[in-house]
Amino acid sequence: MAKKKSNQIKWDYASAPESTGHIQLKDRYDLFIGGKWVKPSSGKYFDSINPANKKVIAKVAHANGSDVDKAVKAARKAYDEIWSRISPAERAKYIYRIARLMQERARELAVIESLDAGKVIRESRDVDVPLACNHFFYYAGWADKLEYAFPNRRVEPLGVAGQIIPWNFPLLMAAWKIAPALAAGNTIVLKPAETTSLTALKLAEIIKDSGLPDGVVNIVTGFGDTGAEIVNHKDINKIAFTGSTAVGKIIQKATAGTGKKLTLELGGKSANIIMDDAPLDQAVEGIINGIFFNQGHVCCAGSRLFVQENVADIVIEKLKHRMKSLIIGDPLDKNTDIGAINSKEQLDTINKYIKIGLKEGAEMYQTPCDLPKGGYYCAPTLFTGMSQSSVIVQEEIFGPVLTIQTFRTVDEVIQKANNTPYGLAAGVWTDKGSRIFNLTTKLKAGVIWANTYNKFDPTSPFGGYKESGYGREGGLHGLEAYVKLK
């Protein structure tokens, strides 16, 4: 498609090993409403920054209430006139088409994700983008089988879904939200996070290329005020939110009594538990992956490590040794293990918690390394010697910072692991099946991994207990969040 040259930058990432050479990004993005690119009514745009070098990648439209209203009207029209009327098999075809187009443009999506979010290309390429495609494939499969998904029930879509997503897995979160909503027959207004709008906007281009009827998916960009306009819009039937517990609570209050169906996927402070009979080298890899994957910007990060006392010294020694081999650097280099922190605000938050940990008297270990200059970086960090009530043990840091506690008995570790306001995930490392069974039944967490960590699949539901939110994404549970069952 011919585009005006003046509005386009050719990103030559030939030096990036995973790049095909040219990644096409506009220097300014408008809102995607009713299948068209629409200027924001305020005329305001904000910068999307590459956190690895602080350079502006593109300007992005800031949507206000009137823009959100336009998007909701477009979604309602598309719902009433097309999407709720076409056959489920037809809906499936569009969703499959989106999945295939995403696969065709996987490299471009991965490079843009790494540029915009600071995440390492190996993770964007091997985890985020393939999983995002798989979500579309998986839910496309359900679109014409809803009566088998919910036997003996009449299944209806909800209508217009408002979806607000965070910055840690921008494309993947968009896929988690959009795919099941479409399969169930809803139309969508989605807002990406302000620091990472670009892959959602690329997805809008893909959606347009797929021929999906205009207005079925609308993407509005902006900050919390834009999100609040979605939450409070009277003609939205469902809100799906992934983000901080603080904002989740605001949304819960705002939607109470409105009849909007709500799902919340919020924060976490997940326990990763190493028993003395665990295969320790494997467990150390699991600890590294649990906390340093995506710079620790993971709601289910294994950010509280519990090691059985008799193996604690050896595990900590192995962990420090392994940490020395982690490469912190350019997210676009495929050898990099740890990329950039997503934004200055997040780096400030992480550094604030590191200071609190030191002030509380905990002992800190950081990988000895020179951090890359010019971007937002944080060295992988361990803390030992905290108490259960320490702020760094209780609060979500959302960065590469691990607290380590020891325990003697299974009962003790269950009590400690459950002692936070959160309940998103947990990991258990042991050789004994009976121990896995015992721990996984008693840990209060929505997702529990045994002898692995941070494994995701479209078929398995994901979501939390307590202040980690409610509702599930993925699998049949994820579909249920977008239907009315009669």
Residues that bind ligand ADP (CB under 6 A): 164-166, 191, 193-194, 223-224, 227-228, 231, 243-244, 247, 250-251
Cβ count within 10 A of residue 247: 20
CB of 348 to ligand ADP, least distance (A): 12
Task: Give the shortest CB-130-to-ligand ADP separation in angstroms.
Answer: 24
Active site residue 395: no
369 is catalytic: no
**Closer by beta carbon to ligand ADP, 248 or else 286:** 248
CB 344 to ligand ADP: min, Å:
12
Query: Smallest gap, in angstroms, from Cβ of residue 228 to ligand ADP?
Result: 4
Assign 383 to helix, strand or coil: strand
Q: Are 33 and 67 in contact (CB under 8 A)?
A: yes
Strands (E), 391-482: 401-407, 422-423, 425-429, 447-450, 465-466, 469-470
Selected catalytic residue, list 133, 299, 300, 378: 299
CA nearest neighbour of 139 among 204, 93, 95: 95
189-203 per-residue burial string, b: 16 or more CB within 10 A, e: under 16: bbbbbbbbbbbbbbb
Residue 155 belongs to what H/E stretch?
strand 155-157
Please pick, among 108, 265, 396, 467, the residue that the annotation labels catalytic: 265
CB 395 → ligand ADP: shortest distance, Å?
12
- Residues 426 and 272 sit within 8 Å (Cβ to Cβ): yes
Residue 178 or 278 having the CB closest to ligand ADP: 178
Closest by CA position to 105, among listed 217, 206, 242:
206
CB of 1 to ligand ADP, least distance (A): 29
Q: Which is nearer to ligand ADP, 37 or 223 (CB)?
A: 223
| Residue closer to ligand ADP, measured from CB, 193 or 283 | 193
What whole-number distance in Å separates Cα of residue 237 and Cα of residue 206?
26
Interatomic CA distance for residues 447 and 423, integer angstroms: 9
CB 139 within 8 A of CB 34: no
Residues 315, 280 contacting (CB under 8 angstroms): yes
Q: Tokens representing 72?
A: 């909701």
| Amino acid at position 327, single letter | I
Q: Closest separation between CB of residue 323 and ligand ADP, Å?
A: 25
Pairing assessment for the beta strands 31-33 and 28-29 based on DSSP bridges = unpaired
Q: Tell the smallest beta-carbon distance from residue 281 to ligand ADP (Å).
A: 33
Copy the structure tokens of residue 313.
């010294």
CA torsion angle 179 181 186 189 (round to 10):
-80
Who contacts 48 (Cβ-Cβ below 8 Å, separation ≥6)?
56, 57, 58, 59, 60, 116, 195, 196, 197, 198
Nearer to ligand ADP by Cβ, of 294 and 406: the residue is: 294
Amino acid at 398: F
Structure tokens at 77: 């029209």
Residue 157's contacts (CB-CB under 8 Å, 6 or more residues apart) are: 79, 83, 84, 184, 185, 186, 482, 483, 484
Longest dimension (CA), the chain: 66
CB of 266 to ligand ADP, least distance (A): 8
Task: Give me the helices (H) in 105-197, please.
Answer: 106-117, 121-123, 129-143, 146-149, 170-183
Q: List active site positions.
A: 265, 299
